[in-house]
Amino acid sequence: MIKAITGTKDILPWQISEWKRLEKTVENLMSYFNYKEIRTPTFEETVLFSRGIGEATDIVSKEMYTFIDRSETSITLKPEMTASVVRAYIEHKLSKKQNLHKLYYISSMYRQERPQAGRLREFHQFGAEAIGSNAPMLDAEMIELAYSILKSFGLKNLDIKINSLGVPAEREQYKTELRNYLKDKFELLSEDSKKRFETNILRIFDSKDEKDIEIMSEAPKILDFLSEESLKHFEEVKSYLDEIEIKYSVDYKLVRGLDYYTNTTFEIVSSSVGAQSALCGGGRYNLLIEQLGGPPTPATGFAAGMERILLACVNEGCNKEEEASLDIYLVRMEPAKKTAVFKISNTLRKNGLKTEMDYLSRSVKAQMREANRMNARFVLFVGGEEFEKGSVVLKDMETGEQQELPAKDLTPVISKLKNQ
């Protein structure tokens, strides 16, 4: 038997309603904040991600799905969305259309990492990008937007963590100090952290190894190496969050693993999803557009993992929505009435009613069982003596009340159903 590839997952019909509600909520909240949807291709040239995300990151060095196509071009299934949005922004010269673009997306991503709860190789994210302003208020709005979406699902166990990475020169100075701090502790680090010491030292803060965590707890803090300007930006972001009473904590270990981040960085974590606690993360990336060939342009954004959010909702018992019930089920009283039932179903559906009928030549009793299984609000009996007299019988499945109505003019049936 052929099965789904490891790390991928089918979303089955009875699971779709929770996904639809999540997507609809995202679309609604994005519109309240005036973000417009953007869609980009599933795959891009590999260089977009290696240059944009950074060669030393785990995503580029270990996790990307990359292949050579027939034109001998290296192609990668997108592992994240920011680089793709920026590529579209540059390619279509969006900077010439208006000064600030507020964009959002809902899309599949691909990373070849070890599957675990809330983390798959094909996964789904929604996110937002605001391109064209360096305003601290926009950083705060991005955090507010992400938090508002997560709260709207009914999630309660949420914590916002924020930090600032300053600008590259400040970060490089900090990295030098961090290397000096770790030099005499190098042999105590885990093997992964030893590799990160050379390639991406800030990622050592992400280590789950207990010894690494103990060592890094005494490490210098990046906030001590920021300029007055960077600190002012960070203080303004915090003041805006305070103004709208959004609680947060400053986490100096929050460094984010992607090279393009500058200044504000944030995560929203949940205690409801186990080890993979981050539901959402983002921050400012003022250098990425120029790095990818565009004009110098400030930007900020976030991305949220949909599988993790749904897992958190399951664990907290929220985001539940009853499957939409059927408006009407047509019960065919005898085989000869197939054509009549088919025609009636056509009329009802044209009038916007969710309609189903029997396709398996089942008995009346079996058809009624099916109507109950589908949670049909009404049943319409077609056939028998009533039909010979030109009538159909409408049964209210909640009250059991039955009513004889004309078969040739279904207006009373349609009216009754639409008024429920």
Domain boundaries, the chain: 13-167+227-316, 328-418
Q: What is the CA radius of gyration of the chain?
A: 28
What pLDDT is recorded for position 417? 78
- What number is the average pLDDT over the span 302-320? 89
* Range list of H helices, 217-276: 228-243
User: Could you report the per-residue pLDDT of 237-254, keeping only the tens digit for each?
Assistant: 999 999 999 999 999 888
Q: What is the mean pLDDT of residues 36-56?
A: 88
E-strand ranges in 69-121 read 74-77, 101-110
Q: How far apart are CA 244 and CA 242, in angstroms?
A: 5
Buried residues in 96-124 as b, exposed as e (16+ CB within 10 A):
eeeeebbbbbbbebbbeeeeeebbbbbbb
Whether domain 13-167+227-316 has CATH 3.30.930.10: the reply is yes
**Cβ atoms of residues 406 and 386 within 8 Å:** no
Q: Is the dihedral of CA 46, 48, 49, 50 positive or negative?
A: positive
Class of domain 328-418: alpha beta
From the list 303, 299, 217, the residue with the least C-alpha distance to 266 is 303
Q: What is the pLDDT of residue 370?
A: 96
In this prediction, residue 259 carries a pLDDT of 66
Are the C-beta atoms of 109 and 83 separated by less than 8 Å?
no
Residue 62 pLDDT: 77
Distance CA 244, CA 137 (A): 11
At 20, which helix (H) or strand (E)? Answer: helix 16-32
Q: Which residues pair with 122 in a beta bridge?
A: 110
Name the band, by pLDDT with cuts 50, 70 and 90, for residue 63: confident
Q: What count of residues does the chain have? A: 420
Q: Is the pLDDT of residue 81 over 60?
A: yes
Percent of the chain with pLDDT over 70: 95
Q: Which helix (H) or strand (E) holds 350?
A: helix 338-350
Q: Answer whether 283's CB lies under 8 Å from 165's CB.
A: yes
Spatial distance between the Cα atoms of 354 and 26, rounded to a whole number of angstroms: 26
Q: What is the rounded CA–CA span in Å between residue 298 and residue 284? A: 8
**Spatial separation of the C-alpha atoms in residues 61 and 53, rounded to whole Å:** 10
Provide the token pair at 111: 């990373």
Mean pLDDT of the chain: 91
**Residue 9: its H or E element:** none
